[in-house]
Amino acid sequence: MTGPLASAEAGTTVLDVIAGDRLLPVVVLDDAEVAPRLGAALVAGGLRSVEVTLRTPAAVAAIHALADHTALVVGAGTVTSADQVDQVVDAGARFVVCPGFSAAVVRRCQKHGVPVIPGVATPTEIQMALDAGLSVLKFFPAERLGGLPMLEALAAPYPGLRFVPTGGITTANLRGYLDHPSVLAVGGTWMVAAGLLTAGRWDDVTTLTAAALAAAREGDR
């Protein structure tokens, strides 16, 4: 094993790493060749994990490259079928994120022993996740659903659950979410925006990542 889990204390989990950074970058990569360069830029910014979405044909190869060549804990996002779970786990994904809740996807992740963070937007979806034995869920799309006030209302009946709000989060609004006790971490694309990646602006990725991490950790000291 390489990366932060290799050097971490025994018993540290993938979710501990995400909870430690409080920030999960969500990447859409068109070209797997640049994955190691992207990984290096994120590591230079201080991050320890990354989610690569299955929104492009290059995604599985990018997961492979990041898992092989960087110190990051690599996860797969936009996973919508059990077959995709097999593919991404085979490529080296250590966690799975979904836009919504799928019992089939969750079961396959559990079979592989890989943590899964499905998206939820309603109490009914939360209870499906509870039935599946999950305790960390993505609140997606966070800002469009009503942001922090909606999350507070949604989380109130379920004190044992932790959320990863994603969708419309930036360095400017992450603090409000992270100050809420139900929030484990926030996710988003802003520090790895498509324009930065296609233009090869790796220094900007590092700068934005470091700024986001500093903002995420500000209230945690």
Ligand X SMILES: O=C(O)C(=O)C[C@H](O)[C@H](O)COP(=O)(O)O
Residue nearest to ligand X according to CB distances in the complex: 188
Site string for ligand X, 55-94 (x = CB under 6 A): ----------------------xx----------------
Phi, psi torsion values for 121, nearest 5 degrees: -140, -5
* Alpha carbons 95 and 77: distance in angstroms, whole number: 9
User: Is residue 143 annotated as part of the catalytic site, yes or no?
Assistant: no
Shorter beta-carbon distance to ligand X: residue 8 or 132: 132
Site string for ligand X, 18-57 (x = CB under 6 A): --------x--------------------------x----
Are 59 and 70 contacting, i.e. CB atoms less than 8 angstroms apart? no
Among 49, 102, 189, 209, binds ligand X (CB under 6 A): 189
**Binding of ligand X by 206 (CB under 6 A):** no
User: Is residue 125 annotated as part of the catalytic site, yes or no?
Assistant: no
Q: Tell me which amino acid residue 130 is.
A: L
Stretch that binds ligand X, among 87-95, 172-180, 186-194, 210-218 (CB under 6 A): 186-194
**Binding of ligand X by 167 (CB under 6 A):** yes
Among 4, 39, 115, 187, binds ligand X (CB under 6 A): 187
Closest of 38, 66, 18, 48 to residue 186, by C-alpha: 18
CA distances to 68, 75, 102 from 210, in Å: 23, 20, 34
Which tokens belong to 36?
């190691």
Greatest extent of the chain over all pairs of C-alpha atoms, in Å:
45
How far, rounded to the nearest angstrom, does the alpha carbon of residue 64 sit from its chain's CA centroid? 17
* Alpha carbons 73 and 126: distance in angstroms, whole number: 26
**Binding of ligand X by 166 (CB under 6 A):** yes
The residues that are catalytic are 51, 138
Footprint of ligand X on this chain (CB under 6 A)? 26, 53, 77-78, 97, 99, 166-169, 187-190
